[in-house]
Structure 1
Amino acid sequence: MSEVVLSCQGLVKRFGGIVATNDVSLELRRGARHALIGPNGAGKTTLINLLTGVLDATAGRIALEGQDITQLAPHQRVRRGMVRTFQINQLFATMTPLETLGLVVSQQRGLGTRWWRSLGSDRGVAERAQQLLEQFHLAEVANQQTEHLAYGKRRLLEIAIALACEPRVLLLDEPVAGVPAGEREELLQTVAALPAEVSVLLIEHDMDLVFSFADRMTVLVNGAVLTEGSPDEIAANPQVKAVYLGYENEAIHV
């Protein structure tokens, strides 16, 4: 069985009297395509915020590649190889995709704020930025300001930024949320083609994406793990159909 790269045990998050995450344990294995699903309010984004350090856990432990990271700040977790995307784009509106990726690649390579020079003088930065532009179908809009890009292109840029950070663990928080139907296929294909060596934890409501992408699934309900299994096991699970999908006697259509 493949190595566990990210895990949490007994993770709890309380907001006053509200228990948002209740004794959650989860393992993400190397190279996995693992989906985290559940109804609205199940605690999915809270769990991602705990894993990435945006929120402090009330109780429990988080480990990345065997090292306890429970007390580390978000930027320290990124440096150790765990990167996330967000439900809402967090991009520089007036920068172009080329400039944005040049900045991220330069910082990743220790060149700091010299990125504008690096694009012209550092062949490695320019080549990596161009590679990412092509991989994420952004080459034709490389010099357009981000605020003028179609929404699907902005989502692609956000994932490209995450991959530019050279993650070993990538957390995708609803990558197709808000993307119009006509722009979704390009994004779905790009997510499916992410590097095999990157272990991915995906939060998504789009069941077509979930079942085409995931090799393992965890179902959260009311802040707790309801069940975990392969896509086939989840699709056939009567608890999932009753509690998550709201009906008992029909199959999950994928």
Structure 2
Amino acid sequence: MIAALETVGLRKSFGALAATRDVSLRIEAGARHALIGPNGAGKTTLINLLSGVLRPDAGRILLDGADITFLPPHRRARRGMTRTFQINQLFAEMTPLETVALALSERRGLGRRWWRTLAAHADMLDEAAALLARFGLGDAMRLRASVLPYGKQRLLEIAIAIAGGPRVLLLDEPAAGVPEDERHEILSIVAALPDDVAVVLIEHDMDLVFSFARRISVLVDGALFVEGSPEEVARDPGVRQVYLGEARHG
């Protein structure tokens, strides 16, 4: 069976620093896959390679079996890969309804003509409103994005990514900077993402990781250290030493 996303021997260096070292991953269709590791392990570099923000020095990236190693980000998005960022990438003055409608219009090939034809596409507005309601943003869909609480902004960013109709969704720390009382809403939304979308999550919140993931890859110093089910990873003595810090505590 063809993987939704696969990397083969992926490498990236910045001068003498090897940020990603021969990483080979296989993400199945509909996967719930988490990437964890200590600070500096190469997690965000790997996501940047997958999404096309960075080009690898060596190795390949396959999306549904097709080589996308050197495709730019927008062409990867059209083929079914979308992502979120550690820091919001929202249009502050646009409303959630306008922003999600824009993402839907890109998926339909309307591009920058969306604002001229929006009134003629009531079905697109209905789809945008329904998606926002699923993400708990129904009451805020006509507010400017800049006035939304930070947790709602993070949810909006995920909703925009889903509006693109991805086969693979890369979530880079979706709960970063979100107050504790809003993190649970993000957790429930992430857990309820469509079953046909393979989700790759980077997250430091281990409660979120172990509640979400069916498979976990641990990166250390740019290399794949351990991979397995959440139970296998939690039991691994090497993970406890390197990631949980037991080596520092005797």
TM-score range for the pair, normalised by the shorter chain length: over 0.9
Q: 1:223 aligns to what?
A: 222
Aligned counterparts of 1:117 and 1:153: Cα–Cα separation in 2: 28
Spell out, residue by residue over 1:208-234, the C-alpha distance to the aligned partner (whole angstroms, 9 max, x if none): 010010000000000001110000000
2:156 aligned with 1:172: no
Contact map agreement 2:2 2:65 (CA 8 A) in 1: no
Contact 1:118 1:125 in 2 (8 A): no
The AA in structure 1 aligned to 2:163 is A
**Matches of 1:60 and 1:86 in 2, distance apart?**
24
Paired positions, count: 249
Counterpart of 2:94, as a letter, is: M
> Is structure 2 residue 17 aligned with structure 1 residue 11?
no
- In the TM superposition, what is the alpha-carbon distance from 1:108 to its structure 2 partner? 1.3
Q: Is the 8 A contact 1:106 1:118 kept in 2?
A: no
**SS in structure 2 of the partner of residue 113 of structure 1:** helix
The aligned counterpart of 2:62 is: 63
Deviations 1:186-207 (A, max 9, x none): 1111000000000011000000
Partners in 2 of 1:118 and 1:161 — Cα distance?
A: 19
Following superposition of structure 1 onto structure 2, how do residues 175-214 of structure 1 map, counting pairs within 5 Å? 175-214=174-213
Unmatched tracts of structure 1, length 5 or more: none
What is the TM-score with the length of structure 2 in the denominator?
A: 0.97
Aligned match of 2:76: 77
RMSD: 1.4
Q: Which residue of 1 is the match for residue 45 of structure 2?
A: 46
Aligned-partner Cα distance in 1 for 2:189–2:220: 29
What SS does structure 2 have at the residue aligned with 1:116? helix
Mapped to 1, the partners of 2:245 and 2:83 lie a distance apart of 30
Are the equivalent residues in 1 in contact too, given 2:80–2:168 (CA < 8 A)? yes
* Secondary structure of the corresponding residue to residue 246 of structure 2: coil
**Identity fraction in percent:** 61
Deviation at 1:182, TM superposition (A): 1.2
Unaligned runs of 5+ in 2: none
In structure 2, what is the Cα distance between the partners aligned to 1:160 and 1:151?
14
Q: Structure 2: how far apart are the matches of 1:182 and 1:80?
A: 36
